């Protein structure tokens, strides 16, 4: 966890790289709203096309808000395809997001729709924190509306002492050094808490059997709660 430019809580290996999985939706939201593909929290409404999906909540029409809340993969993939690789890479470079590698799975030319899903794009917890610090400080040269709408769709709840929680989970598979997906689960929960002008950013990642984003989120909120005054 980081506050006013200083790390105030750190555990484990924060330099290890992992796929961002659905925690990348924070970056995708900024891209979508800045490019004008996304309009506000309820528009555009993109229809579910009947493709097989792993979760019932994904098998329905989605708005930007439900896309984030339901962590819907296909909505992300429509967004990146509408954006195109050149613009997609431009934003990832601007955000200095992890290793910035959008090549996707080796030999499959699927980076536009798969690079952040246990594939080529990798990021460390410390890099997540740097990215989030720049988001909160609005340092990227993108529209005010992109920041505003992203903040809106990321809002989760108000914690004790009136701290507002913004964040996104991510779930996927750990990879070997050659990029091969393993059977080891990973889970992310990243975001920030804000009260007035005070902000603390955080990035939590876990790995192991049964680990996923919601589990990491629950543990992270417990730890965050203990740090609040």
Tokens 């339901």 -> residue: 70
pLDDT of residue 1: 86
pLDDT band at 10 (very low <50, low <70, confident <90, very high): confident
Tell me: the pLDDT tens digits for 174-193? 999 888 999 999 999 999 99
Tell me: the pLDDT tens digits for 133-145? 999 999 999 999 9
Residues 45, 71, 97, CA angle at the centre, nearest 5°? 105
Residue 199 · residue 136 · CB < 8 Å: yes
What the block records as the tokens of 1 is 């966890």
CA dist 192 and 202 (Å) reads: 6
Active site members? 22
Tell me: the pLDDT tens digits for 86-107? 999 999 999 999 999 999 999 9
Of all residues in the chain, the percent with pLDDT exceeding 90 is 90
Tell me: the pLDDT tens digits for 102-133? 999 999 999 999 999 999 999 999 999 999 99
Q: Where do the H-state alpha helices sit in the chain? A: 25-35, 64-70, 73-83, 85-94, 111-114, 125-136, 144-154, 213-227
> Which residues in 81-96 are b (16+ Cβ under 10 Å) and which e?
eebeeeebbebbebbe
Averaged pLDDT for residues 148-173 = 97
Tokens 């876990």 -> residue: 206
pLDDT band at 229 (very low <50, low <70, confident <90, very high): low
**pTM of this prediction?**
0.97
């Amino acid at each position: 966890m980081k506050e006013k430019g200083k790390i105030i809580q750190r555990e484990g290996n924060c330099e290890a790289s992992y796929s961002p999985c659905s925690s990348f939706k924070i970056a995708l939201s900024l891209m979508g709203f800045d490019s004008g593909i996304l309009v506000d929290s309820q528009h555009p409404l993109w229809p579910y096309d009947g493709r097989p999906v792993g979760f019932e909540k994904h098998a329905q029409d989605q708005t930007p808000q439900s896309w984030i809340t339901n962590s819907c993969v296909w909505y992300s993939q429509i967004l990146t395809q509408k954006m195109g690789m050149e613009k997609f890479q431009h934003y990832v470079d601007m955000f200095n997001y992890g290793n910035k590698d959008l090549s996707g799975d080796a030999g499959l030319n699927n980076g536009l729709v798969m690079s952040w899903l246990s594939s080529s794009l990798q990021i460390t917890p410390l890099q997540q924190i740097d990215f989030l610090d720049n988001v909160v400080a609005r340092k990227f040269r993108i529209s005010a509306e992109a920041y505003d709408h992203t903040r809106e769709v990321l809002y989760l709840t108000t914690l004790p002492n009136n701290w507002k929680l913004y964040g996104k989970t991510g779930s996927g598979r750990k990879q070997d050094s050659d990029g091969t997906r393993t059977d080891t689960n990973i889970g992310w929960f990243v975001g920030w808490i804000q009260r007035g002008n005070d902000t603390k950013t955080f990035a939590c990642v876990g790995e192991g059997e049964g680990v996923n984003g919601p589990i990491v989120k629950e543990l992270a909120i417990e730890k965050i709660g203990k740090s609040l005054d």
